[in-house]
Chains A and B, each alone.
Chain A
């Protein structure tokens, strides 16, 4: 799979290759921007609190606070039920929250979440969304939807870089001892066991979304220990396997296995597999990650206002939402409000929650993320080993590696965009946020370049720009004990006219979770509107 030249280069030893005729340039940081994620705006209003009151309140059937996936899904699901008088309030210029994307002359590329798992037959709403997008090409013999081939992640899906060479897949098989492989088998057998596990009512232990998972204590009890402790109990200490488990936790949760709930750790592996010895559900992806989903959902949000919400209160004639636009304060009087913001924001703006805040709240913890999009004028030279993949992971790096935006389109030569992800896995997320809040584009660009140059030595010369986003409160983290905490389950319950939708309510930040809560909130609201 490698070219003859690469072969020669490697066999004869790379050090000699750099020997002649190479001009050395002083390294300069490529240009780029630090993406605004609305954090400053939000901080100002939420922290300062003192905001002028609006003169008038305009009436709407529904107001959705928050234009991320949960809020947009709620608006979409309401529109599907015929509720059209719905306003979505979002402080950021761009909708989509952490599922946003962008586009350049080269390709569309993601800024955050970049894939979903193909829906099973049970995920009707997700199937409906994909059908609207023209992304379902048929149904299999069991009635499960088949996602369009063009969107099912193109092989090779992932590869891993270790000591100068790429290997296929995410588990580092090269050099694995017999015991390493035995432990991998033991682990896979555990995953198979959980994948085929059903409770008395037939519910699966782990499935997407979390609301469909069994609440049998045998499963939920896993939340009380860390994934690392769960692995220890089974004597699964192979460094390769542990690295894979840590990688999974960092990838989806921004945590290490030692802090991740064992329930969440097993969820990562078992939820994508409908039974024992069954191939995982396909990964579905677009060049710009999940952004096309967001765009489609947003089309349903008939009215969208760029505003920061400072309070949501109950009243006899409806719920009042006070928001602030560039033009000044605006008020909304709505029959129902769907609060689709993170729980920590909701606790500050939703009056009934503010009152209850003194009472214990579910433990919540938000991980910080950095994302860098690197524009390349050409592909890095392919070194020996596994060919270029969609997801390219560096073994033992603190980053998650990068995804290639042009992979799914089948553009295999020429310019591209690499999206590099870096989760802060520190237990003390607030500390991490403070420590890095001063870093700007040059620091992030250099960090990304240094990390990726290990695998692609000439990378800097190929990079034309590096744009960076920093998600301070990127996503909720499923730490030990946080998932099946009674407070989490209670948090989704509406308070009067106020409904809630957010991934926080699942305890893990996945598109499917935001989508599920948006749909649930929309169902609640539609039912309330129909029976008023």
Chain B
């Protein structure tokens, strides 16, 4: 075995192994070579997550045969190593992030992805020995393959996610394929550089650039790539980088290539295609999930009805349904105290039986169960996934103080519109208070839950003297929508007291307190451990500033769905 620079071999010999030489060049520029023989092969790097399998003794043995070597632009190739390393790690991080975004359970996802990725790189390294022939050509082929598979990985996975039954399998297949290809890269590159300098220098330099690349990737990924570009464009951009390495390589290794222009053309085409993707993905990334959440996702699952995402940041955790913030643990107490207590206090007798419509997170339940008078609560929420999450997901069940498991609580998973129609209360079984906490009316399926018909059906559920509170979107952001809800309740025969509160996560938020009879809003808060409400805050909620005051609006009915149209128009202005 020799690490000595080799004199140029005649072109004919180039067929057998190593880079072929189209033209001769002088002796290698490497200077320190003699001591190389005394160096033991470097130990295989052990643990770090992004470690690459280094060529072991086996690889060294294979190089025993003297290889004819052309003088190659070594420094430029080091830069290639750097780019390749950066891209490789970014792919791995992308896959892990995507897995935890789309499938939830980030610990499992990252473990699986990293484990599989590393072992795939091992497989790639092992396979590299079988690659013979024109190494420069093979290296560029692999580079292009990485560009295509890696660059398209995230867009394809995002795309396939809704329609694929075994997403995990597909994700891991991508991870494995990219891992194998990336695993091939460094061994091939090292073999390319083999004759150019002493083995110890080769290993030292290549691995140095490799690890620096990994560090740069690890820094770029969370600080620049994900926040600025999003997952899809990052993926495509890394593909572009790999493509450019191939283009560049077609120049650097031109002397070893039989038809450099052919591979260059291919590399340019791939790069251009991916660049087009980066450009076109622009509209996508502004909507894609990776840009939607400011904080890391700790849980995300698709139920039959909606996409549930929980993120956790410095200020606590947040629940999103279909991308819309439902609460933030930092200030939800303001929202839920304001939602529940006015109705509990406005009922003529201390409520014994309470109905909650929506509110599957169990946070309204927590407030209701604080009243010793409450004997029985029924919560009707469409999505069993949401109510079971509220019971079993530790962050959430802690926040709602295990309200969903309280023996007084009965959970019904049904559409509230259908449920109230089909379950008229038996005599004496009407509800003393009803808390209505639906998502905002941003589609027709939700819009029906804010119609005059719905509020009339609601009236049939309420005991005489009972009170209702309805979450009614923001009178600031969607002023017309808010007053449309108020007006619709009035048209359904309710006596109403609109009120509002500031919830930092949401802005100014609106509710409607209502009873069948004329009534005065409550003035005294109960002697419960409340964080937000006191007598002053309670009185203040029923006052509206000029910019959120009443407007002339249509009544929302099943056959006009005026509210959904108001709501769409109004929120558009803020988005």
**What residues of chain A have their CB less than 8 Å away from a CB belonging to chain B?**
1, 3-9, 11-13, 16-23, 149-150, 152-157, 282-283, 381, 387-388, 409-414
Contact = CB atoms under 8 A, between A and B. Distances in A.
Contacts of B17: none
A16 B443 contact: no
B248 interface: no
A464 B559 CA distance: 30
Nearest to A406: B418
A324 B442 CA distance: 59
A3 B559 CA distance: 24
A20 B415 contact: no
Contact of A411 (B304, B323, B415): B415
B305 A16 contact: no
Contact of A155 (B305, B421, B444): B444
A4 B559 contact: no
A377 B161 CA distance: 22
Nearest to A12: B159
| Size band of the interface chain B makes with A | 35 or more
> Counting chain B CB atoms within 10 Å of each CB, which of A8, A388, A411 scores highest?
A8
11 contacts: A3-B307, A8-B158, A8-B161, A17-B164, A149-B456, A149-B558, A154-B558, A155-B561, A157-B559, A410-B417, A412-B415
A11 B444 contact: no
Interface in B280-294: 283-284, 287-289, 292
B307 A4 contact: yes
Chain A contact residues, majority secondary structure: loop
Interface string B151-176: 00001101111111111011001000
B443 A387 contact: yes
B382 interface: yes
B415 A413 contact: yes
A412 B155 CA distance: 31
B164 A20 contact: yes
The 7 closest A-B pairs by CB, nearest first: A152-B559, A410-B417, A155-B561, A412-B445, A12-B159, A149-B453, A5-B162
B307 A282 contact: no
Given A4-B322, A6-B162, A8-B284, A16 B156 contact: yes
Given A149-B452, A410-B417, A412-B445, A12 B158 contact: yes
A459 B289 CA distance: 28
Given A4-B288, A4-B323, 11 more contacts: A9-B162, A22-B164, A149-B453, A149-B559, A155-B444, A155-B559, A411-B415, A412-B444, A413-B305, A413-B415, A413-B445
A141 to B, nearest CB: 15
A167 B421 CA distance: 31
Nearest to A19: B160
B52 interface: no
A8 B288 contact: yes
B451 interface: yes
B23 to A, nearest CB: 44
B560 interface: yes
Given A1-B443, A7-B287, A149-B451, A20 B160 contact: yes
Contacts of A157: 559
Contacts of B561: 154-156
A167 to B, nearest CB: 15
Contacts of B559: 149, 152-155, 157, 282-283
B353 interface: no
Contacts of A23: 165
B447 to A, nearest CB: 8
B288 A5 contact: no
B444 A387 contact: yes
Nearest to B304: A413
Interface of B: 155-156, 158-167, 169-170, 173, 283-284, 287-289, 292, 302, 304-305, 307, 322-323, 382, 415, 417-418, 421, 442-445, 447-448, 451-453, 456, 557-561, 564, 568
A21 B162 CA distance: 12
A150 B159 contact: no
Nearest to B152: A16
Contacts of A6: 162
Contacts of A412: 415, 444-445, 448
A7 B162 CA distance: 10
Contacts of B161: 5, 8
A409 B451 CA distance: 13
A153 B448 CA distance: 12
Contacts of A12: 155-156, 158-159, 284
A43 to B, nearest CB: 42
Contacts of B283: 11
B453 A150 contact: yes
B163 A17 contact: yes
Contact of A9 (B163, B165, B568): B163
A282 B456 CA distance: 20
With most chain A CB atoms within 10 A of its CB, the pick from B158, B304, B305 is B158
- By CB atoms of chain A within 10 A, which of B283, B322, B558 has the most? B558
Contacts of A156: 444, 561
Nearest to B277: A12
Nearest to A1: B443
Nearest to B416: A410
Contact of B159 (A1, A4, A8, A410): A8
A3 B322 contact: yes
Nearest to B383: A413
A411 B418 contact: yes
Nearest to B306: A3
A6 B418 CA distance: 27
A307 B287 CA distance: 65
A18 B162 CA distance: 10
Nearest to B289: A4
A5 B288 CA distance: 9
A282 B557 CA distance: 12
A154 B559 CA distance: 4
Nearest to A381: B162
A11 B415 CA distance: 31
Contacts of A283: 559
Given A8-B159, A387-B444, A410-B417, A152 B284 contact: no
Given A4-B289, A155-B558, A410 B162 contact: no
A152 B557 contact: yes
Contacts of A5: 161-162, 302, 307
A18 B161 CA distance: 10
A168 to B, nearest CB: 11
User: Which has the most chain A C-beta neighbours within 10 Å: B445, B452, B456?
Assistant: B445
A21 B170 contact: yes
A17 B560 contact: no
Contacts of B421: 150, 409-410
Contact of A16 (B159, B304, B418): B159
Contact of A4 (B287, B415, B418): B287
A388 B444 CA distance: 9
A240 to B, nearest CB: 24
A477 B302 CA distance: 50
Contacts of B173: 20
A472 B523 CA distance: 70
B558 A152 contact: yes
Nearest to A457: B163
A477 B241 CA distance: 68
A11 B159 CA distance: 9
B415 A410 contact: yes
Nearest to A147: B559
Nearest to A389: B444
A409 B453 CA distance: 11
Contacts of B418: 409-411
Contacts of A11: 283-284
B518 to A, nearest CB: 22
Nearest to A16: B159
Contacts of B305: 413
A380 to B, nearest CB: 13
Contacts of B170: 20-21
Contacts of A410: 415, 417-418, 421, 448
A13 B382 CA distance: 32
